[in-house]
Structure 1
């Protein structure tokens, strides 16, 4: 992490980050490269990135290479900046300081014209919302290690 300006990462200031960064992983012979990494910041696999582009999602990002040199594992990821939209219903339930969502509900009128992949603008934490056809597309391509949750739309 010392290779990255973490403040720039948090503020999505891509211009302050190098085009490609190599991030060294803790050595582990059982490393699994999932298609979405949530922590310490959002990363998506090359396949996820390519499908986003195929669906004309206006995403920007920087290339990150995750490397476990001891075991000879490496994978290309992207630190994406997906468009952010105010999309939450009034029925959405937040935690006490409004920084995280306990129960997410989308407002159907607010999501009429959003791309197939976007982020929720109303909170600091990254909430990546994907349309069903996009999810089916990445699953057909063998997506692994992702957590899916069905969302309610009001």
Structure 2
């Protein structure tokens, strides 16, 4: 099976940008043991004012957010994954849009063939396919980067529907040598 890093398409310069998110949601809060503490929170964030704003289907930073339609697709492939409702508000334009915070599980599937820079950031990502195989959407345990990884069938499903703001980068799989 092939896997891809899901990221926001940086070529869309006028993409919606939520602000003041990191004051409410920290990286630690997105870890599995902390997620349920957010269930009672009502998450509403203002967006950066721009003359024109494109409401993309995937926002990568400061937290991973999916549009309502994109969430429906992802939920079909990972029904037990954590989703939390978030409202993005453009007060000047009097507009509110529903988005979904996602927190895929962290999977220990990093291959020993992966390479790192001296500061422990990834130079070359390689995953162990057998360990990743049961999961359609996940994050990788043991790396500083907070990549969201999706399987080929999820990627194809997203691409067929023409979602905007999404980029996919193929991930290397561990080499299998005959013994």
Is this a same-fold pair by TM over 0.5? yes
Tell me the residue number matched to 1:93. 115
Contact 1:105 1:152 in 2 (8 A): yes
- What SS class does the counterpart of residue 83 from structure 2 fall into? strand
Q: Is the 2:30–2:103 contact (alpha carbons within 8 Å) kept by the matching residues of 1?
A: no
| Residue 23 (structure 1) aligns with | 45
Structure 1 unaligned regions, length at least 5: none
Provide the C-alpha distance between the structure 2 equivalents of 1:75 and 1:6, rounded to a whole number of angstroms. 22
Q: TM-score, normalising length from structure 1?
A: 0.84
RMSD (Å) for aligned C-alpha atoms: 2.2
Bigger relative contact order, structure 1 or 2, given CA contacts below 8 A and separation 6+? 2
Shift of 1:9: 3.0
- List aligned pairs for 1:121-136, cutoff 5 A: 121-136=141-156
1:5 deviates by 4.6
Where does the alignment leave 5 or more consecutive residues of structure 2 unmatched?
1-19, 175-179
Match of 1:60 among 82, 85, 105: 82
> What is the TM-score of this pair, normalised by structure 2?
0.74
Pairs aligned (count): 152
Which of 169, 173, 177 pairs up with 1:149? 169
